[in-house]
A = this chain, B = another copy of it.
């Protein structure tokens, strides 16, 4: 397996039909991927998963079953939500081809996760909130109902295509913060906003969602998270009387 591909995990959240898990494993393997994470699958392991994996049983055997999306994203520096529907407060949206380049670039340095939601309703807003960018597969507006494994097939195909394209340049590499570092920052930020009276916990509206969207676009580096948390710390210690 290509070392970049070894840094990429496919995360299926709350999949209903085990057959789709098997078909997704097969799709992954055809494109050279092996790391499958399953968040609270309805039925797994299951004979339907094995049957549809058709020679990719090794992927199913090695699959990590997780209790929460947070568990499945641990250690990931870039998290991509694959979703069909546009969101109100959307992140930056890319097509699979654009995502292929972004993901491969990051996979040269750290861990990347591609997250797929349920067959019926895709990812929840909360789940998308944990991702930095959105990948949307262009589809027929009158019928955009891609099968889950078909979506996995297209995304992994584009990654495969991107890998074998000539190297792109594109700016200084970012030393991205991990999922946990970023989540801890958001929590620290939120509690500080409550403390200074800017955020009313009884009526938070969509403030933190907006802030997540802003920082997701910039894809925070480790150093930046450290600086931002340093500011929040000094802020908590600050008293106007000290001026």
Q: Which residues from chain A sit less than 8 Å from chain B, CB to CB?
A: 23, 26-27, 29-32, 54-56, 86, 90-95, 97-98, 136-140, 143-147, 149-150, 153-154, 157, 160-161, 164, 168-172, 193, 195-198, 207, 210-211, 214-215, 217-221, 223-224, 227, 230-231, 234-243
Contact = CB atoms under 8 A, between A and B. Distances in A.
A201 B234 CA distance: 16
Given A90-B172, A198-B230, A218-B215, A145 B239 contact: no
Copies of this polypeptide in the complex: 2
B140 A171 contact: no
12 contacts: A32-B139, A90-B171, A93-B170, A138-B160, A150-B153, A153-B154, A195-B243, A197-B234, A197-B242, A198-B235, A215-B218, A218-B218
A143 to B, nearest CB: 5
B234 A169 contact: no
A220 B227 contact: no
Contacts of A143: 29-30, 55-56
A171 B224 contact: no
Given A26-B145, A93-B171, 10 more contacts: A30-B140, A30-B145, A32-B139, A154-B157, A197-B238, A198-B234, A210-B223, A215-B218, A217-B217, A217-B218
Contacts of A236: 240
B147 A23 contact: yes
Contacts of A29: 140, 143
A98 B219 CA distance: 19
Contact of A218 (B144, B161, B214, B243): B214
Nearest to A234: B198
Nearest to A157: B154
Most B-side CB within 10 Å, residue of A193, A197, A214, A230: A214
Q: Lowest 5 A-B CB distances belong to which pairs? A: A218-B218, A217-B218, A196-B238, A32-B140, A92-B171
A43 B55 CA distance: 24
B161 A86 contact: no
A237 B217 CA distance: 29
A147 B54 contact: yes
A140 B37 CA distance: 20
Nearest to A168: B95
